[in-house]
Chain A
Amino acid sequence: MFDFSILTNRVHELLISSMSEGLAIFVECILVGVFILIMYALLALILIYMERKVCAFFQLRLGPTRVGKWGLLQLFADLIKLFTKEIISLKSSDKFLYGVAPFIVIVASIVTFSCIPISKGLEILDFNVGVFFLLAASSTGVVGILLAGWGSNSKFPLIGAMRSGAQIISYELSVGLSILTMVVLMGTMQFSEIVELQSTGWFIFKGHLPALVAFVIYLIAGNAETNRGPFDLPEAESELTAGYHTEYSGMHFAFFYLAEYLNLFIVAAIASTIFLGGWMPLHIPGLDGFNAIMDYIPGFVWFFTKTFVVVFLLMWIRWTFPRLRIDQILSLEWKYLVPIGLVNLIIMVLIVVFGLHF
């Protein structure tokens, strides 16, 4: 298994040899930042293309086919279009909040994105309360959504933002509970250790039924967190035109759009890190030859494969189920997911206490 920390250490030594340590760290921060932004933009493009194709296939269509081979250049065309569009400022909106809202959403999304371990040695933010930090960073996005709704000074965005706020704050609880269930099993909150612990088997297999239940709850709640169907009522087209980003145009709109897709990726990436082993190859205890072969596949390939499988699962769910009403969403959360999550947590604690897991 290739360790990327060899590469990053070599870059560090190279920089230190030619400049002071403080400057070297500053340069490294810039390099990492640029790397994150490029990854972010590329993943957003891939996800939007994938969404359009998957959506089309579920509706017996072909999706984009005209621009480039299989419509691959469609996204770049869309991107150029978004760049050239005017950013409209509204007459009676709160200019400051209206302007700052998309940046809060996208910064929250980028900070969360940088918590995810991509491959061995490729962790950007990795410390002992990583899971906490991730949950905290991902929930700041809702502030941006609420500000966007409030600052637009228009009724559709405001209703959309309020719905979004109610929904995200409720489902945060289920995300927290399902991850807490896994933290009980894992015994650590550091992402690099979480992945390392799964070298003897992924947690979804190690944790028996409670892990599976936690995985399902996490997927449902994570889907709701990202405001995607069937929980897309903050931006329900038929009722609210586009919800909280109705009044936005140009790149400000694109920030919301990118953040939405990257949040989808982040939810899938966390699901694959915590439940499906992240970049850790599939290891079956006892089959050493098989494990050795699996180790030849690089970690980031495993990570992206698992993540995109989960992304496909979420898209499958999105294009299958009809949108829920607000009361149905809240009753699903408070009457079903939270009680089941709590019971699940107790079962997991019992399993860990009596050592019944693998």
Chain B
Amino acid sequence: MNEKSYIGGILHAVSSLLTGMKTTITIYFRKKTTEQYPENRAELKMADRFRGSLVMPHNENNEHKCIACGLCQNACPNDTLEVVTEMIETADGKKKKILTTYKYDLGSCMFCQLCVNACPHDAITFDQTFEHAVFDRQKLNRVLNHEGSKVIQTK
């Protein structure tokens, strides 16, 4: 029937309203998206691309991939990172720059991921933790490389 006629308009209106009601009632019985956060801490699943805080993954031999090139430090818009290096002489007499401390200030990080993108060796990445609240700002200054860690020697 013609939708512009009086009766046709009524029938069209009723059918479209019923379509709307059908849609909402399916949503009514759908699983709810609300996260009951503090209670569901154990099974809480963050989104895959969520950026919690910057970390430097270490393998089982306490080795990381950072070659201390400083590209992340240059990429950072907020001066969040500081790569402290020292020059050493290797066994075959070559001079080499190695990482001593990798300083990260969580308080000034804006989670833009430019440092991760700049890293040529995928040495740093973001993890999923987000409960960062502390009472002292100094506690936000973190050192990402572990005690006594070395860079992975690639052949």
A and B form one complex: yes
B28 at interface (Cβ–Cβ under 8 A)?
yes
Closest to B23 in A: A320
| A65 contacts B30, C-beta separation under 8 Å | no
Closest to B31 in A: A60
| B32 contacts A58, C-beta separation under 8 Å | no
How many interface residues does B have (CB within 8 Å)? 14
Chain A interface residue number, banded:
10 to 19
Number of contacts between A and B (CB, 8 Å)?
A: 34
Q: A321-B17, A336-B10 are in contact. Are A60 and B32 (CB under 8 A)?
A: yes
| A316 contacts B25, C-beta separation under 8 Å | yes
- Among residues 1 to 54 in chain B, which have CB atoms less than 8 Å away from a CB atom of chain A? 10, 17, 20-21, 23-25, 27-28, 30, 32-34, 36
Contacts of A320 in B (CB 8 A): 20-21, 23-24
Contacts of B25 in A (CB 8 A): 316
Q: Please indicate which of the listed interface residues A320, A321, A336 has the most CB atoms of chain B within 10 Å of its own CB.
A: A320
| A61 contacts B32, C-beta separation under 8 Å | yes
Closest to B17 in A: A321
Closest to A54 in B: B28
- Among residues 300 to 321 in chain A, which have CB atoms less than 8 Å away from a CB atom of chain B? 316-317, 319-321
Contacts of A340 in B (CB 8 A): 10
Contacts of B36 in A (CB 8 A): 62, 65
| Interchain CA distance A62-B39 in the complex, whole Å | 14
Contacts of B24 in A (CB 8 A): 58, 316, 319-320
Q: How distant is A261 from chain B, measured CB to nearest CB, in Å? A: 20
Q: How distant is A250 from chain B, measured CB to nearest CB, in Å? A: 31
A76 at interface (Cβ–Cβ under 8 A)?
no
| A61 contacts B34, C-beta separation under 8 Å | yes
| Interchain CA distance A126-B20 in the complex, whole Å | 40
Contact string against B for A residues 333-353, beta-carbon threshold 8 Å, 1 for contact and 0 otherwise? 000100010000000000000
| A317 contacts B21, C-beta separation under 8 Å | yes
Closest to A61 in B: B34
| Interchain CA distance A88-B21 in the complex, whole Å | 41
A57 at interface (Cβ–Cβ under 8 A)?
yes
| Interchain CA distance A56-B10 in the complex, whole Å | 31
| Interchain CA distance A65-B24 in the complex, whole Å | 22
Q: How distant is B56 from chain A, measured CB to nearest CB, in Å? A: 38
Contacts of A54 in B (CB 8 A): 28
Contacts of A60 in B (CB 8 A): 27, 30, 32-34
Residue from B17, B27, B32 in contact with A62 in the complex, judged by beta carbons closer than 8 Å: B32
Contacts of A56 in B (CB 8 A): 32
Q: How distant is A324 from chain B, measured CB to nearest CB, in Å? A: 12
Contact string against B for A residues 40-58, beta-carbon threshold 8 Å, 1 for contact and 0 otherwise? 0000000000000010111
| Interchain CA distance A150-B23 in the complex, whole Å | 40
Closest to B33 in A: A60
- Among residues 154 to 194 in chain A, which have CB atoms less than 8 Å away from a CB atom of chain B? none
Q: How distant is B35 from chain A, measured CB to nearest CB, in Å? A: 10
| Interchain CA distance A56-B27 in the complex, whole Å | 11
Contacts of B28 in A (CB 8 A): 54, 57-58, 316
Contact string against B for A residues 182-214, beta-carbon threshold 8 Å, 1 for contact and 0 otherwise? 000000000000000000000000000000000
Q: A65-B36, A336-B10 are in contact. Are A58 and B27 (CB under 8 A)?
A: yes
Residue from A57, A316, A336 in contact with B21 in the complex, judged by beta carbons closer than 8 Å: A316
Closest to A339 in B: B6
Contacts of B20 in A (CB 8 A): 320-321
21 sampled A-B residue pairs with Cβ under 8 A: A54-B28, A57-B28, A57-B32, A58-B24, A58-B27, A59-B27, A60-B30, A60-B33, A60-B34, A61-B34, A62-B34, A62-B36, A65-B36, A316-B21, A316-B25, A317-B21, A320-B20, A320-B21, A320-B23, A320-B24, A336-B10
Q: A60-B27, A65-B36 are in contact. List 4 more A-B contacts (CB 8 A).
A: A61-B34, A316-B21, A316-B25, A320-B21
> What are the 10 closest A-B residue pairs judged by CB atoms, nearest first?
A320-B24, A62-B34, A60-B33, A57-B28, A320-B20, A62-B32, A61-B34, A320-B21, A58-B28, A60-B32
